[in-house]
Amino acid sequence: MIDSAPRDAAGRRAHIVGTLHRAGFCSVTDLAENLGVSDMTVRRDLRRLEEDGQVRIVHGGASLPHGVLHAPAFDNRADTNAAGKRQVAAAALRLLDDRDTVAVDAGTTAYQFASVLPETFAGCVVTHSVPVIQLVLASARARLVGVGGDLHHPSKAFVGPMSVDAVSRLRLRTFFLGAGAIDGRGVYVGTDVERPTKQALMGIADSVVLLADATKFHTSAPVLLCGLDWIDVVVTDRAPDDEMAAALRDAGVRLVLADAEE
């Protein structure tokens, strides 16, 4: 146990919530080691915090609940290859400068990226995602610009003409983009209502970084967002097959692979 670790139940639970606000996810084993208590004690604390609505217990640990809006579709997607999404998020930090102006897309992988933004990040985050807004609000240093509009409940994101108009007055260093699927033809999203806001954010960014865990290369989504030539970098947790890798190279897309340790 570290010297500053809290010894009472209330202190432990506050420590757990604070850790999750910084990291987005933490395993039971890591929490037990940091607090100097047993796994069973941590699990009791997590159950109490989940009853109070402060955390969500997932396999092997806990994460923050995804905001105050109830959206089962979002929560279910968050559990799909959650470990891979965390690796992608950690790897994407290599592309971030502490004073950048960046946009973080709606979606569960982009949410993971927002959850691992370091405390040293003192730049500006632009987002139309309600869960990402809630995460960045907890940051002491980062500036937040929220893009409003009509709320799309499945993605917990603001979309529509008002969003596109607001984005048109901004400028970004990097847009960290999420997607439903990717193949040799391009990048896909689940619904057409998401497309204009994403495209508007892509249009004002110096660089577009697609955050795509490996499942996105083997699934489908109905709406074509853009061709691969719109993307500058793809960050993923496992290398795509040879055909997809060749398509990325031909389009001039840089491929960044996450280390398993991330």
Could you read off the pLDDT of 1-46 as tens digits, one per residue?
444 566 688 889 888 988 887 666 788 998 999 899 999 999 999 9
Per-residue pLDDT, 66:
57
Segment 94-110 mean pLDDT: 95
Q: Quick one: what percent of the chain has pLDDT higher than 90? A: 63
β pairing state of 143-146 and 205-211:
unpaired
Q: What is the pLDDT of residues 138-160, one digit of tens each?
A: 666 899 999 999 999 888 899 99
Contact 197, 149 (CB under 8 A): yes
Q: Where are the beta strands (DSSP E) in the chain?
A: 25-27, 56-58, 61-63, 101-104, 124-127, 143-146, 150-152, 157-159, 172-177, 181-182, 187-189, 205-211, 223-226, 233-236, 254-257
Q: Quick one: what percent of the chain has pLDDT higher than 70? A: 88
More confident residue, 24 or 88: 88
Per-residue pLDDT, 68:
44
Per-residue pLDDT, 260:
60
Per-residue pLDDT, 110:
94
Residue 209 has pLDDT above 60, yes or no: yes
Tokens of 199: 């495209």
Q: How confident is the model at residue 232 (pLDDT cuts 50, 70, 90)?
A: very high
Residue 222 has pLDDT above 80, yes or no: yes
Domain boundaries of the chain, sorted by first residue: 9-63, 72-257
What top-level class would CATH report for the domain 72-257? alpha beta
Residue 221 has pLDDT above 50, yes or no: yes
Residue 69 has pLDDT above 50, yes or no: no
Residue 75 has pLDDT above 60, yes or no: no
Matching CATH number, 9-63, of 3.40.50.720, 3.30.420.40, 1.10.10.10, 3.50.50.60: 1.10.10.10
Per-residue pLDDT, 149:
96
pTM of the model: 0.74
